[in-house]
């Protein structure tokens, strides 16, 4: 099942955020993906609409760093990441938002200071429990559009247990931060 979000500034009407996510159900005993029961599907169906995704899907393959060799492949690495009590949900698993924070822990400071996150694609592979110790790996890539001359900055990320298994793969795209003059928006007439 898919859910879409489109968040706009209430004054200007400008789009602040668009997001699309895919939702799955997991069997609590086997920890494997499970088919959504018909009675659940019937109950939630009125809240899901049949239409195209609000964000075009990025089908490019996410990074694969060889197990155990991640630190030699990625230029930026942060180790010793551990969940705090407040990061856990009712099942004692780390909340999905925490994974994003850990991914950004290994992003270069120069990117975080001079750019803003334009898009992110996440592929969750495993659950993370409260005793997990993780490491975050980031590789930075730039592409130059030969026609426009614009440079695109993107990062590939792998979040893994320090013992090896991959928890999350991700891709982030970054754009330069706007100056104060660029941020000035003329409000629509009321």
Active site amino acids: 91, 93, 128
How many Å apart are CA 180 and CA 111, to the nearest integer? 18
Cβ count within 10 A of residue 81: 20
Can you list the positions of beta strands (E) in 89-178? Answer: 115-124, 134-144, 151-161, 166-176
Joined tokens for residue 110? 């120069």
Cβ count within 10 A of residue 18: 15
- Separate counts of helices (H) and strands (E) for the chain: 5, 9
Q: Which residues are registered as beta bridge partners of 141? A: 154
Nearest CA among 105, 59, 114, 62 for reference residue 80: 105
By residue count, the chain amounts to 190
């Amino acid at each position: 099942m898919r859910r879409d979000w489109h968040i706009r500034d209430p004054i200007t009407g400008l789009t602040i955020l668009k997001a699309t996510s895919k939702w799955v159900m997991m069997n609590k005993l086997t920890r494997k993906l499970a088919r959504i029961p018909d009675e659940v599907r019937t109950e939630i169906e009125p809240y899901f609409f049949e239409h195209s995704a609000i964000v075009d899907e990025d089908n490019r393959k996410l990074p694969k760093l060889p197990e155990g060799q991640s630190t030699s492949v990625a230029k930026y690495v942060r180790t010793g990441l551990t969940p705090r009590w407040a990061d856990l949900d009712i099942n004692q698993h780390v909340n999905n938002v925490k994974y994003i924070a850990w991914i950004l822990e290994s992003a270069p400071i120069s990117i975080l200071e001079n750019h803003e996150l334009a898009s992110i694609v996440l592929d969750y592979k495993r659950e993370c429990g409260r005793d997990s110790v993780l490491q975050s790996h980031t590789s930075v890539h730039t592409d130059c559009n030969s026609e426009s001359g614009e440079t695109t900055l993107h990062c590939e990320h792998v979040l893994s247990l320090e013992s090896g298994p991959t928890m999350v793969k991700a891709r982030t795209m970054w754009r330069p931060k706007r100056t104060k003059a660029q941020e000035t928006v003329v409000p629509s007439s009321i």
